[in-house]
Amino acid sequence: MFPSKAAARQYLLSARRARPHTGDLLAIAQAQPAVQAARRIALYVSMGAEPQTGALIDWLLATDREVLLPILYADNDLGWGVAPGAADLVPGRRGMSEPPVDLGPDEIATAELVICPAVAVAHDGVRLGRGGGSYDRALARVRPGTPIWAAVYDAEVVEALPADEHDHLVDAALTPNRLIVLGRSQDD
């Protein structure tokens, strides 16, 4: 167990940067019934060494699904907009690519599936983010029963992570190699 979130984040991000990563999330996501059934999916545009989402976004748009992408506000909360296509995204805060139209923070409640970024997830569903609290706030707005998956690499699915009361649990870890159902889903 890591002694703190900061220690876990530092260790796991350093390990992520040091490992070569290949593949993206497309093939595994395509095979999932929840992805096949969802008409509106909240996702994100990957950056740097994060599991790659570009091909998945393109495929979702090509198969007539709506993709909600986050818009980072100055207070670190997230608004959401419909993805117009990769060429039509605009520069956002902290180097993010964002949709040009903000539909507001509550729009995530209209998603039928949410795939969010994470630094790591634990087998009990605890998600470790980058530390700004953006996704904990956004995930609190998701409709009950909507699947929430964290995109990570296989090595970032760990036994345990430090957690706070405000942390929002996730149902599964989507990796470039598989979908791992986490303990929270098994207990529901």
Tell me what pLDDT residue 96 has. Answer: 82
125 is annotated as contributing to ligand binding: no
Query: Sign of dihedral through CA atoms 55, 51, 27, 37?
Result: negative
pLDDT digits (tens, 9 = 90+) for 114-138: 999 999 999 999 999 988 889 999 9
45 is annotated as contributing to ligand binding: yes
Distance in angstroms (rounded) separating the CA atoms of residues 38 and 55: 17
188 has pLDDT over 50 = no
Find the mean pLDDT for residues 16-27. 84
| Side chain identity, residue 104 | G
Q: What are the chain's domains? A: 5-182 (3.40.50.10420)
CA angle 23, 24, 27 (to 5 degrees): 100
Tell me what pLDDT residue 48 has. Answer: 85
**Percent of the chain scoring above 90 in pLDDT:** 71
141 is annotated as contributing to ligand binding: no
Find the mean pLDDT for residues 65-70. 96
Nearest to 68 by CA among 78, 77, 76: 78
Find the mean pLDDT for residues 84-93. 74
26 has pLDDT over 90 = yes
Find the mean pLDDT for residues 45-59. 92
Per the structure block, which two tokens stand in for 106? 């509550």
CA distances from 152 to 42, 49, 157, 185 (A): 16, 10, 7, 18
Tell me what pLDDT residue 86 has. Answer: 56
Distance in angstroms (rounded) separating the CA atoms of residues 167 and 90: 29
Find the mean pLDDT for residues 142-148. 97
Nearest to 146 by CA among 179, 177, 113, 172: 113
Element (H, E) at 41: strand 40-42
73 is annotated as contributing to ligand binding: no
184 has pLDDT over 60 = no
72 is annotated as contributing to ligand binding: no
50 is annotated as contributing to ligand binding: yes
Nearest to 174 by CA among 136, 134, 107, 127: 127
Distance in angstroms (rounded) separating the CA atoms of residues 58 and 81: 16
Q: Which of 51-60, 93-102, 109-118 is predicted least confidently?
A: 93-102
Tell me what pLDDT residue 85 has. Answer: 63
11 is annotated as contributing to ligand binding: no
Q: pLDDT band at 187, cuts 50/70/90?
A: very low
pTM assigned to the model: 0.91
Query: Sign of dihedral through CA atoms 21, 22, 26, 32?
Result: negative
135 is annotated as contributing to ligand binding: yes
Per the prediction, the chain carries an average pLDDT of: 91
129 is annotated as contributing to ligand binding: yes
